[in-house]
Structure 1
């Protein structure tokens, strides 16, 4: 590497950024784009309200549930076991082989990130402490915390960091897109690691603070047996796996040796407080709600909160609901490589056939705001309103019919046909949660109203995505929750076609535009790049965006000091007590 002093600067104060490619004036608003420079624990990091508002799922701050949610105040007692209800089970507990939210809920408690983001968007020490950045912004060196152990007793070392990121770079992992132009990682000292990028990469800083997907793995156990590790993981986090009964529950037990620096909003002297946390699978809505009302579970997780039962939970004296604007967006994906949705005119017709208001009001009980791109309006460069005004896809069955006529599909009895072939599409859906299934069923009816025969097949949650990924179906309702606009890579990047890219969109120009957004350090340039990308892609109609969700977490009133990170929107259980 040569003499680092000739081309690097140790970041000890925000003013140290002046005169580098990462000048503070350029980075001051970077969190508004879902990114900020990672700073050492002695610093006030770059905050990022940026005027964007929203739920804070990106670095923009917002109205997420950052304060305590508790029923009646009081300190309460330390829970022997905190029981959480959800509709589905984890797929795997190795962050390099899954992006399933049911897995992330557990992994965020097992693994630690390199850096910690507090509730105001400031960054401080995690597994890493101090950073050096070269003038070009392409080489980052991090000093690591010493004396931290994995759950199995092995020491956390620079070799584990190198292994984790090399595996992410070299394994055909679902999250490889998130490290962007990272070209390598090497240990450059006993407790130091250097990351090298082909060009500047704005989102990486924020990703480094997200332990659920970007936590550090131990080399030994993973190399010994990857499949076994995915079922019995080892991390450095606040909890370790005690038991996983597939389809029933995952139980974590407190890591008594946890010493990784954590967010200052965690106030307990010796966190985490709950001795055990159990994720209980309750697939059906009413039994899930009843388990909360009866006290069998303590928290009903937001992802599977049944909107129609909101008043039931709010009105019961023993329970309450914490309602917040999420960073979760729902959209109808069209397979652009499978007939007949390989025809853009057909895709546009199907988009016009979808009644968003009916879905939001009737199925989701009004707990959502109409959207026109498939990610939250809280992210930098969101172009939803301009997409609405300039491109459209408003609900219009007459327009849908006209477009199908133009495509040569004319009415032939109940359904349309062309050259003797009936216009038929295949819809794939998960079989849980119920609103997802109801949305798919409503789409069958909506498409029939414009003469399109739709055949719906439902599968177990993870299987549904695998089936749609085969590329043999046409339509699937998907959701995505993320905190950086680089999620467009996940949604539209060619390398992700058939995986997270449910539209099977493969376009070199789109890929270049995605890269332009990810490598733009100046927030205004990054915003413009993402804006232009959305306008181009939505003209191609890869999907019909539906809404950004409002969500609710159900809580027993006995639950005290439950918090939710306002930027990452991850639950924080570390201070939870029970007042009973």
Structure 2
């Protein structure tokens, strides 16, 4: 049994910290003035060496939800701020290998039950206080706190493998054994069993103990240091200076930054409508755009051809799904925040895997990519990111668009149109209607719902396409699922640090919104991280190959596609070194060439 009161304001975001929901909106008004385009003779002064000073303007088309504490944030727009203000002990390089960050080196013991990290010794928080091992211990102990999940925290994956977590979170002890400060600049993670990827656990952003230590965990999300820009304290190259809520968010350089004073004086994030992004880039009113999904498919070629803009396109660590509600929770479990698969009630309308397979064959995913993404996406046949060594589409069913096969599968199962109304009844002759829910806030997803409903009705499945709900309400209903949901649309951002999909698809996983309960799946997911066998990547690859095959047969959700990640920046901005999962890399080394 897994007990966790989930935060309702969930958006999956990955960057590199956790698995969160993606919600996007393109309805924000443009607060920028419509200035005329710069004269062609306004050329940029070339420079071979970085020049201190200057500022850049970034654009996002949805304002951050307002949580700027890394242990509680869930919103991709908040990540546009936190990526500059907070740091973790380790980062990643272009090969997705872990590299030093706040920790300069590390070592594991022989059986991989302990990870000891040696911290940088000249790091200052934005308020001038010294960064130490106590801050690291405090961060993880806060996530392990018994009140953390009830307060809205969802990042427990980073503490669950640690020694004594269960006893601590259940209140059996007030001493957390999983993390200790050996001295001022040394910290040791202790795992309850050998850990195949301990640096993944060490990749979570650190928060300052001296700011939060007197604040109860239950009150931390509403604390000034979590929500007031001028009170947000990190170790990153930029400080959160001020904000005009819903319009503008200003970051100022951290002069005492431990890797050297940043070149830029200021980074200004402005909330703008997606429809005007291309024009703002062309006129030089916006210097950089990043996550999530700011360039519309229709504007892609326009932005690509702008002479003053560099465009970066890579496969994203995310995917969109059509989810199948295989089980529903009991009212009592929902009220108590308990995830207990033994109590779940099967959804008979979708209990047959062949029914879900028929639905998959009926959906033209290539059409969705071409019409909705203007071709800027790829089919994905497994819920593991393509960039990982574990991805193996050869083991999976690809579910190519084949409506005749879909019809044949349903006919064989006894789902036929008995009353000749154009829609199939179930094998007992009862009306068979699938309720289909999806959220607002993402224009592409809002268009996807009606398209899929039409495709399914063309093979005789009656769909009740319900009015889309605001993301907050949608996630509330999706989480508290003692209801009549059958189909749902959702987007997942994946962590770039580890291919293990258990956080989404293990039966007891909080984000297993399909309520897929398959013992073979759980067994394979657990085997893939079981030591000592799992220390061998070939072993893990074999296990994940078997799991991906099982997933594609059972099909708790159909992976619709993975969008391409598209970033763009003005050529006057220098020092950009994109990583496979982000544009925010060594931002203290960004600098600008000023216009003449």
TM-score by length of 2: 0.75
Name the residue aligned to 1:149.
124
Name the residue aligned to 1:290.
279
Measure how far apart 1:461 and its partner are. 4.5
1:330-351 Cα offsets, whole Å, 9 max, x none, are: 3322222254334433322221
Name the residue aligned to 1:265.
none
For residue 126 of structure 1, the aligned residue among 101, 110, 115 is 101
Once the two structures are overlaid, the 10-residue window that deviates more, 467-476 or 453-462, is 453-462
Name the residue aligned to 2:4.
none
Name the residue aligned to 1:236.
235
1:390-430 Cα offsets, whole Å, 9 max, x none, are: xx432222222233344544335243334443413222134
1:256-303 Cα offsets, whole Å, 9 max, x none, are: 1211x5xxxxxxxx4422222223222x43123332223221112253
Query: 3-state DSSP class of the match of 2:327?
Result: coil
Name the residue aligned to 1:488.
501
Q: Distance in 1 between matches of 2:497 and 2:527?
A: 14
Matched, 1:541 2:555: yes
Measure how far apart 1:571 and its partner are. 4.8
Name the residue aligned to 1:192.
186
RMSD, aligned CA: 2.9
Query: 3-state DSSP class of the match of 2:319?
Result: strand
Once the two structures are overlaid, the 10-residue window that deviates more, 570-579 or 522-531, is 570-579
Query: 3-state DSSP class of the match of 1:381?
Result: coil
Structure 1 residues 192-211: aligned runs within 5 Å: 192-206=186-200, 208-209=202-203
For residue 578 of structure 2, the aligned residue among 537, 561, 564 is 564
Q: Distance in 1 between matches of 2:270 and 2:351?
A: 41
Measure how far apart 1:57 and its partner are. 9.1
Measure how far apart 1:488 and its partner are. 0.4
Name the residue aligned to 2:407.
401
Name the residue aligned to 1:364.
373
Matched, 1:176 2:156: yes
Name the residue aligned to 1:447.
456
Q: Distance in 2 between matches of 1:73 and 1:551?
A: 29
Measure how far apart 1:310 and its partner are. 1.4
1:455-479 Cα offsets, whole Å, 9 max, x none, are: 1433445554344223243211323
Number of aligned residue pairs: 493
Evaluate the alpha carbon distance shift between residue 276 and residue 569 of structure 1 in structure 2; reply closer, same or farther with a 3 A threshold. closer
Query: 3-state DSSP class of the match of 1:404?
Result: helix
For residue 424 of structure 2, the aligned residue among 416, 423, 434 is 416
TM-score by length of 1: 0.77
Evaluate the alpha carbon distance shift between residue 300 and residue 190 of structure 1 in structure 2; reply closer, same or farther with a 3 A threshold. closer
1:36-66 Cα offsets, whole Å, 9 max, x none, are: xxxxxxxxxxxxxxxxxxxx999xxxxxxxx
For residue 308 of structure 1, the aligned residue among 279, 293, 298 is 298
Evaluate the alpha carbon distance shift between residue 174 and residue 72 of structure 1 in structure 2; reply closer, same or farther with a 3 A threshold. farther
Query: 3-state DSSP class of the match of 1:564?
Result: coil
Q: Distance in 2 between matches of 1:343 and 1:116?
A: 43
For residue 317 of structure 1, the aligned residue among 307, 310, 313 is 307
For residue 540 of structure 2, the aligned residue among 489, 510, 526 is 526
Matched, 1:350 2:359: yes
Contact 1:375 1:480 in 2 (8 A): no
Q: Distance in 2 between matches of 1:231 and 1:202?
A: 36
Measure how far apart 1:255 and its partner are. 1.4
